[in-house]
């Protein structure tokens, strides 16, 4: 049975070139980057070359990139340090953020008594920017944390606009760019953001490697204490091969960005069209969504909701009901709960997410699989 992977917003297959690169680094550059001998120096070179290459691709300075084990860690660090060390007394966020953000904010509220405001979500899944402006009129040291591309429905935030609004109101802006880094262009020299975060496994890199971008001039305090690694901000011997894999994955993503984006966009359009032809009552969750994410409300009965993923899985087809941590659970997604009516929430919604490795045959198999349910 051919297995079909349509869950690329959860994670992506690693590119072969990335695996090859990591193997070379593991074989040759196994020194500890903190050691002063040649083994250490060559590992340190891998680390710093990777940092420079990532910074160049994103249009920032190498010193602004801090390696972490993933985006969750980066977000935890930034939000916690902003409250503890930068005097942030209020966080503005939305109810459709990833749990990496929502649960960190919840912790900060409980632990430090910070104020938390949720910006309204429009029925199409977009952030209500005028409500954000209204919230920002209050004079209190604020950090805004809003995601770029929503991982469940694919709605896209106008980061430039929101960033400029934050600047006008002297608020810090943390943007969860996990679903967009490696999939669209960034110029961080121009973009009005203070922090972004990324995980390599979302763009065909290894799991266990990510980074935080912290704008020059913002002084956070360490997340982990110990050695001097990552300027003492994230102590612990660096995962050199993971970082090399992260940098390689990013280089390859940007090298072929235009052609892969074009290919994936057409695949998504084909999938949407086929779904509409075969299930005329289907509804798309979210509007103007990102090119690799399609979230659809299927016109199936409530009883079929719990069985749908299982049935597709039996046929070797992987899609998702929402974020990965909720796969297999029948609890409605916290994102869909914000935009769907109760009635629709009981019906099955599917997140289909694509990569350049997918083909039209994959989509045809998914449609056949759904028809058989």
Of 179 and 289, CB closest to ligand PLP: 179
Cβ proximity to ligand PLP: between 224 and 324 the closer is: 324
The structure tokens listed for 164 are 């400029």
Given 60, 166, 175, 325, the catalytic residue? 325
Q: Which one, 71 or 264, has the nearer CB to ligand PLP?
A: 71
Q: Answer for the pair 8, 271: CB distance below 8 angstroms, yes or no.
A: no
Query: How many Cβ atoms from other residues are within 10 Å of residue 164's Cβ?
Result: 14
Q: Which residues contact 209 (CB under 8 A, 6 or more apart)?
A: 67, 69, 70, 199, 200, 201, 239, 242, 243, 245, 246
325 is catalytic: yes
Q: In whole angstroms, how far apart are CA 235 and each of 67, 74, 244, 291? A: 10, 13, 18, 37
Q: Residue 355 or 369: which CB sits closer to ligand PLP?
A: 355
CB 224 within 8 A of CB 76: no
151 binds ligand PLP (CB under 6 A): yes
Helices 240-255 and 16-28 pack at an angle, to 10 degrees, of 150
Site string (254-293) toward ligand PLP, x via CB under 6 A: ----------------------------------------
Residues in region 55-94 near ligand PLP by CB under 6 A: 70-72
- In angstroms, the CA 152 to CA 98 distance is 9
Output the smallest distance, CB 37 to ligand PLP, in A: 34
Among 98, 174, 183, 204, contact with ligand PLP (rule: CB under 6 A): 98
Output the smallest distance, CB 142 to ligand PLP, in A: 21
The residues that bridge with 224 in the sheet, in sequence order, are: 234
Note whether 199 binds ligand PLP by CB under 6 A. yes
Binding site for ligand PLP (CB under 6 A): 70-72, 98, 100, 147, 151, 176, 178-179, 199, 323-324
Give catalytic residues, as residue numbers: 325
């Amino acid at each position: 049975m051919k297995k079909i992977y349509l869950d690329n917003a959860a994670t992506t297959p690693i590119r072969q070139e990335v695996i090859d690169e990591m193997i070379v680094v593991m074989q040759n550059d196994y020194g500890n980057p903190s050691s002063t001998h040649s083994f250490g120096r060559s590992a340190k070179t891998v680390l710093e070359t990777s940092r420079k290459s990532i910074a160049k691709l994103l249009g920032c300075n190498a010193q602004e990139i801090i390696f972490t084990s993933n985006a969750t860690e980066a977000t935890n660090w930034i939000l916690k340090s902003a409250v503890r060390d930068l005097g942030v007394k209020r966080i503005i966020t939305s109810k459709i953020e990833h749990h990496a953000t929502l649960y960190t904010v919840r912790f900060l509220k409980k632990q430090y008594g910070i104020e938390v405001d949720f910006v309204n979500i429009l029925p199409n899944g977009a952030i209500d920017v005028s409500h954000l402006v209204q919230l920002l009129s209050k004079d209190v040291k604020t950090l805004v944390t809003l995601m770029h591309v929503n991982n469940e429905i694919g709605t896209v935030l106008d980061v430039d606009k929101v960033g400029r609004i934050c600047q006008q109101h002297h608020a810090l802006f943390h943007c969860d760019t996990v679903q967009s880094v490696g999939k669209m262009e960034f110029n961080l020299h121009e973009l009005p953001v203070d922090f972004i975060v990324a995980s390599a496994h979302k763009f065909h890199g290894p799991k266990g490697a990510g980074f935080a971008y912290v704008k020059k001039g913002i002084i956070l305090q360490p997340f982990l204490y110990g050695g001097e690694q990552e300027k003492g901000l994230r102590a612990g011997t660096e995962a050199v091969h993971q970082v090399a894999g992260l940098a390689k994955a990013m280089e390859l993503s940007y090298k072929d960005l235009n052609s892969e984006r074009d290919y994936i966009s057409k695949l998504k359009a084909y999938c949407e069209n086929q779904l509409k032809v075969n299930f005329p009552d289907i509804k798309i969750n979210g509007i103007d969504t990102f090119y690799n994410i399609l979230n659809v409300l299927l016109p199936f009965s409530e009883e079929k909701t719990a069985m749908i993923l299982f049935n597709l899985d039996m046929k070797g087809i992987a899609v998702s009901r929402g974020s990965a941590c909720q796969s297999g659970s029948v609890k409605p997604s916290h994102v869909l709960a914000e935009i769907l009516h109760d009635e629709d929430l009981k019906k099955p919604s599917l997140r289909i997410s694509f990569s350049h490795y997918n083909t039209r045959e994959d989509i045809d198999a998914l449609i056949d699989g759904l028809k058989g349910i």
